[in-house]
Chain A
């Protein structure tokens, strides 16, 4: 199946700094990508839909100025956690549906963010 990569896989940062997470579709084009947040032993919570060439669509309760999303190309979406705080520590996963069929979601390996 299709491959989605994420970078970095693990990041530790100080409170107040910004962290950028990249999500890449390696062998297919992704006009849409999704960003999820996952707390330990909990489900995937959809944060936002990243759309190539247009603004991201955020789920209710997700601060768009806090979590900046840029879908720079058909294979790359970035999530920037701005002014990170310890409560932002989480596992962040992106996914992309196979375009244009939209038959399946392919997940990245996730990025573990720890904010000290």
Chain B
């Protein structure tokens, strides 16, 4: 099956700085890569996603890049704010089954 690795596991940045989270996947057939934000005790919320036919996607302060050849994709958050503090998960999917990365706990220091 699919194996998704995510780094770093924890990340602290100063408010206003950028944060980058990286994921790798093993199944070359995976074609959909969403990113989720999860606050403590709450459900994961989709924040951005990318499909295998696209190399980069941006939505305001959030961007995702995908390198299919290397099988890795990254989440970029610019101008971080305290409310960005949460756990972020990447996932790789083929069809309707999703496999999640191990998560990154992001802390934005005011």
In the docked arrangement, what's the CA distance between A108 and B34, Å? 17
A25 at the interface (CB under 8 A from B): no
Chain A 52-110 residues near chain B, CB threshold 8 A: 91, 93, 95, 97, 102-105, 107-110
Q: Which of chain B's residues 48-88 have a Cβ closer than 8 Å to chain A?
A: 49, 87
Verify if B33 is at the interface (C-beta below 8 Å from A): no
Question: In the complex the two chains form, what is the Cα distance from A105 to B38 in whole Å?
Answer: 14
The residue in chain B whose Cβ has the minimal distance to the Cβ of A45 is: B100
Q: Which residues of A contact B99 (CB under 8 A)?
A: 46
> Are A104 and B103 touching (Cβ within 8 A)?
no
Complex Cα spacing A109 to B41, Å? 8
B side interface size, CB within 8 A: 23
Question: Which among B6, B46, B87, B105 is the interface contact of A104 at CB below 8 angstroms?
Answer: B46
Question: Interface residues of A: mostly helix, strand, loop or mixed?
Answer: strand
Q: Footprint of B on A, CB under 8 Å?
A: 32, 34, 41-46, 49, 91, 93, 95, 97, 102-105, 107-110, 112
B-side interface residues toward A, CB under 8 Å? 6, 32, 34, 41-46, 49, 87, 89, 91, 95-103, 105
Top 7 A-B pairs, shortest CB-CB distance:
A107-B43, A43-B103, A97-B96, A102-B96, A43-B102, A44-B100, A109-B43
